[in-house]
Structure 1
Amino acid sequence: MLHGGKTTIIKIYRCGYCYNNLHRIYKNMPKETIQFPATAILFSHQNNLYLIDTGYSKRVFEYGLKSKIYHKLNPIVYEDSNSLKNQLEADGISNLDIKGIILTHLHPDHIGGLKDFPNSQIIMSEKSYALLVRPKLLDLVFKNLVPVDWMNRLRIIEEKEDDLFQDGTIEVIDLPGHTKDQIGLYFKELKFLYAADATWGIKFIDNQLKFIPKLLQRDYKHFNQTILKLKEYMSNGIKVMVSHEQVDDK
């Protein structure tokens, strides 16, 4: 738990995971299969509860051929007990108490549980909104994960905006490369940056991607520029966390 004056990061949740071999992803890495958790973060701001992303849900397996291909390339391990809704309930928090959900981008491991929060405002960038309205195949948007009433609950973060709550506590950071629309959140009071899928692990930040993983980045030039941005934050003493990192959340 990280405490600030107006903002507190309450807990980091792992909502299922995928696994892959480091040798297939990075150059000069051993043949070691590791887990990449699907992360969601619960935080409070001015006594309201918010989430960043929602992790996997069983619906990720229910989108026909796209689900089968996705699972084949990116094997997923998930049980109902892993759902963010169930984990929150185990901690005494109702899914109906979440005021808003900030989506860093629209991949299935980030929006999988979105339908489990019918009362929450859905907060996304302008670029995410554009992708959701007209997704392309490589955008990996599973429309079955999106609530039918999403537009009625939508708040769009415009590109010119960078202050999420207009009080200087959380800055929205543009982190393109992995996807066109990816954003991160910098908690200024906490000196903490959540950088979504900017890299598959801070400990891999200097490793070079192999050919196929490189192709899977929507813009590899911007991917590398985002890595440099993360390093700049880190050089200024700021804690950087990414979605698939194995981290201690105690």
Structure 2
Amino acid sequence: MKVVFANSAWVNAAERLILRGGGWQSVRLRVRYALIFHPVTGPVLVDTGYTPEALSGERRGRMLRLYGRLLKPELNAAEQVLPVLSRFGLSADDIRTVVVTHFHADHISGLSLFPKARFIASDAAWARVRSRTPRQNLRHGVFTELFPADFETRLDGLSSKPRVEANGGVPGGADLFGDGSVIAVDLPGHADGQFGLLFSGLDRPLVYAVDVQWLLQALTESRTPGFPATLIAEDAGAIEPTSAMLRHFMDTGGEVVLCHDPVPTVYDLAMSDPEAG
């Protein structure tokens, strides 16, 4: 199995907002998504990153337009999801599964590009989205106009997946493909229903820890940012226990990739050979 991360966009943030004790200098953050080449399931997307649908799409509401003006994401045209698929000889129709780690705009904005895909996501978190008013969803960072109209009918909820044990101090989770190769691990703190992915079959166990922290340095050095970063967390009190679990995983030989850390990894597209996909 092969895992490749691509960078859909760049977002700038002051270091002290994402790293406790950091300075005022700007950090250029990545906005990753992943492409899994599974031997049985085939090509699988993990989130979609930022796409034009979130920043210039016609369906955007007033608050999503404001969100774009405030964050000012800079789209990375070369690593948008459809061009990346094309580099591997794939089209949107070849994607039959999209894993949605949580429902923030930088993870779901391109879901409408994949009309033939099923969506693996937290059905419990989706039920809460459905039960809230639009204003309540905005408080949770969820812009419902980014979901395809038939999202629910194509939802393949985590609760339907078999639960399995993991290793390296990582708790058990949902076995996404029934072979233990990719396990969805709950990562509470940042967003409602956020889960990461444990790739246990690689040469070195890997957890894609999504948005547990913005910077790997914050994770490894126990420098979780405080106020005002905690204002946008679903459960600020859960961030450090989740981070501690991941530090233990790394101490026992595991590897962690984060969505926004700016440092390139061996799994990033620039380090990969598309012809090997």
Q: TM-score, normalised by structure 2?
A: 0.81
1:138 CA displacement: 1.7
How far apart are the structure 2 equivalents of 1:129 and 1:67? 19
Find 2:175's aligned residue among 142, 157, 163: 163
Mapping of residues 1-250 of structure 1, within 5 Å = 7-9=1-3, 11-47=4-40, 48-61=42-55, 62=57, 63-78=60-75, 81-135=78-132, 136-158=137-159, 161=163, 162-190=174-202, 191-205=205-219, 206-246=222-262, 247-248=264-265, 249=268, 250=271
Amino acid of the structure 2 residue aligned with 1:150: F
How far apart are the structure 2 equivalents of 1:56 and 1:117? 15
Q: Deviations over 1:70-114 (max 9, x none)?
A: 234423112655531122124321111112000110000000111
Amino acid of the structure 2 residue aligned with 1:200: W
CA RMSD of aligned residues (A): 1.9
Which secondary structure state, in structure 2, belongs to the residue aligned with residue 158 of structure 1?
Answer: helix
Amino acid of the structure 2 residue aligned with 1:107: H
How far apart are the structure 2 equivalents of 1:208 and 1:123? 29
How far apart are the structure 1 equivalents of 2:99 and 2:86? 20
Gaps of 5+ in 1: 1-6
Amino acid of the structure 1 residue aligned with 2:255: K
Q: Kindly tell me: are residues 79 and 199 of structure 1, through their superposed partners in 2, closer, same or farther at Cα, counting changes over 3 Å? A: closer
Which secondary structure state, in structure 2, belongs to the residue aligned with residue 86 of structure 1?
Answer: helix
Amino acid of the structure 2 residue aligned with 1:157: L
Q: Deviations over 1:54-76 (max 9, x none)?
A: 00111212423212332344231
Q: Which moved more, 1:181-190 or 1:69-78?
A: 69-78
Gaps of 5+ in 2: 164-173, 272-277
How far apart are the structure 2 equivalents of 1:45 and 1:109? 24
Q: Deviations over 1:161-190 (max 9, x none)?
A: 321122221111000100121000101111
How far apart are the structure 1 equivalents of 2:238 and 2:70? 23
How far apart are the structure 1 equivalents of 2:230 and 2:6? 28
Amino acid of the structure 2 residue aligned with 1:65: R
8 Å Cα contact 1:58/1:79 also seen in 2: no
Q: Deviations over 1:222-241 (max 9, x none)?
A: 11111111111111101111
1:217 CA displacement: 0.8
Amino acid of the structure 2 residue aligned with 1:143: T
8 Å Cα contact 2:8/2:77 also seen in 1: no
Amino acid of the structure 2 residue aligned with 1:220: A
Runs of 4+ in 1 over 3 A off after TM superposition: 24-27, 79-82
Identity over aligned residues, as a percent? 27
